[in-house]
Amino acid sequence: MQNTIGKYFKRQIFDPIVDVFFPPICYICDCYLHPGHKIICENCWSEIPAFDGKLDQSLSNRSFDNLFILFEFEDKIRQLIHLLKYKRHLTLAQYFACEAKLRFSNLQYGSYHAIVPVPLYKTRKRERGYNQSEEIANALSKIYQIPVKSEHLLRIRPTSSQTKMSREQRDLNMLDAFNCPQKNHEKRILLIDDVITTGSTIDACAKALKKSGINEVDAFAVTHPPLENN
């Protein structure tokens, strides 16, 4: 984690002053964090298991081409995803991007023409104030110098929460939920989401992107919970 966090990011000027009065603690184990670290300690970060490559069967026969996943789905990563998604701890997007650089040699400068985050519906983004997938995309963009093209893909209708849905229900929920407003000329893009379960969301995104003219759509996610563990 020291390479992942300490090497790439410097704390803001006022952070050390604030930390004197409010020492930062790890959200996972409540221990005090070393200078330069935020949200999670080195020990807890190192204990998050890397994804072992075993995909849920529901991810077969999808429209995306390659899939990159960072971590196994377990309690620590679940807590971090919650902090990023609902509590605006955007530093985690940077940590995930740095981990991707250490883990995936395939993700490198020149590999993709654009990075595209899975979009939120406009009212959901307005309520939350940001899109966590877009934050991850922006962090990856800074590392790989690949432009983020959020405008390439729009969510054109609201969708229901998929937590308790089957694959078939999720596919139906995402049917025609995304659209590309213009013809795209990039040959290869990287699609970003925080969590991939059955792949219904990124499948619908990949279909829309390929329909707009993109040849290859690879997908990246922080974690993958099998459907039975969702």
Is residue 16 over pLDDT 50?
A: no
Stretch 21-43: mean pLDDT: 87
Task: Return the structure tokens found at 20.
Answer: 């004197």
CATH 3.40.50 for domain 48-229, yes or no, is: yes
HSE of 187, CA atoms in CB hemisphere, 13 A:
2
Whether the Cβ atoms of residue 1 and residue 47 lie closer than 8 Å to each other: no
Stretch 93-116: mean pLDDT: 89
Task: Return the structure tokens found at 9.
Answer: 């990011």
- Domain ranges (residues) in the chain: 1-47, 48-229
Report pLDDT digits (tens) over 178-197: 999 999 888 999 999 999 99
Stretch 74-95: mean pLDDT: 96
Where does residue 60 rank: exposed (0-12), middle (13-18), buried (19+ CB within 10 A)? exposed
